[in-house]
Amino acid sequence: MVNQRLIYGFHAINARLWQNAKSIIELYILENKNDVRTREVLEKAAQENVRVHFADTDRLNAMAKGARHQGVVGFIDASKNHVHLEDVLDNLREPAFLLVLDGITDPHNLGACLRTADAMGVHAVIAPKDKSAGLNATVSKVACGAAETVPYITVTNLARTLRELKEYGIWVVGTDMGGEADLFHYDIPQAVAWVMGNEGAGMRRLTREHCDALVSIPMFGTVQSMNISVSAGMVLAETRRQREMKSVQ
């Protein structure tokens, strides 16, 4: 049985067409729409033999449940997205760079984290299956195509997965306000999995216990916390910066 999922917007549709066109069940495009981006989608869909239907605004609005779809809506077979963690790790040609999200339930935050992960070259994003936002149309839209390029791997037992990462020689580093080191003075390991908890409760106790180190993000203003996607952006960017610095030494 097909695990059908909705995607919409030019970024999400184009990323899917170029990265995994075989997973697209069908596309719906606003009738009489003839701008450059629409023509590019139609051309690529024809090349990939993707079925295209034309629909009016009311029908597209109903499909996208009122979200801003930009006149392009698609249905994909989400089962063709599935990637195993071992597949990612066994095919790496550089030290692992991973992001682990423990309990992120807001699809906007997940989409923003995926977008940042793609920009910084993260190899995969890992999350527990329970009490986490799954990939949906909102995530794909916010991620601007990154939901189709960055492997999003859900696991049934996050603590066990963290132990498995260590067996691969990957250092598991959690972000915590009470961390023993701060981000700007921490020598980030070459193979690293950054672990971030949700904004309210942070990491779960068992997740925290499986971290090799806890690192805080220095705060120089009056606010006491930041959005999870902003925090993720900071640790991923600092990791990339240190990697680039070490590569030229």
Q: Give the pLDDT confidence of 218-248 residue by residue, as tens digits.
A: 888 887 778 889 999 999 999 999 999 887 7
Q: How far apart are CA 175 and CA 188, in angstroms?
A: 12
Name the token pair of 49. 């033999």
Match 């295209």 to its residue by tokens.
Answer: 52
For residue 187, pLDDT beyond 90? yes
Positions of CATH 3.40.1280.10 in the chain: 85-247
* Contact (Cβ atoms closer than 8 angstroms) between residue 104 and residue 28: no
* Contact (Cβ atoms closer than 8 angstroms) between residue 154 and residue 134: yes
Residue 217 counted as an annotated binding residue:
yes
For residue 86, pLDDT beyond 90? no
pLDDT of residue 2: 59
Which residues does 103 contact at the CB level (< 8 Å), separation at least 6? 128, 131, 132, 197, 198, 201, 203, 204
Q: How far apart are CA 173 and CA 1, in angstroms?
A: 39
Positions of CATH 3.30.1330.30 in the chain: 4-77
pLDDT of residue 81: 60
In this prediction, residues 71-87 reach a mean pLDDT of 78
For residue 83, pLDDT beyond 80? no
pLDDT of residue 123: 92
- Split at pLDDT 50, 70, 90, the class of 163 is very high
| pTM > 0.85: yes or no | no
Q: How far apart are CA 77 and CA 58, in angstroms?
A: 24
| Alpha-carbon torsion (143, 147, 151, 152), positive or negative | positive
Q: Which CATH superfamily is domain 85-247 in?
A: SPOUT methyltransferase, trefoil knot domain (3.40.1280.10)
Q: What is the CATH number of domain 4-77?
A: 3.30.1330.30
pLDDT of residue 240: 96
Mean per-residue pLDDT over the chain, rounded: 88
* pLDDT > 90 in the chain, percent: 53
For residue 79, pLDDT beyond 70? no
Residue 197 counted as an annotated binding residue:
yes
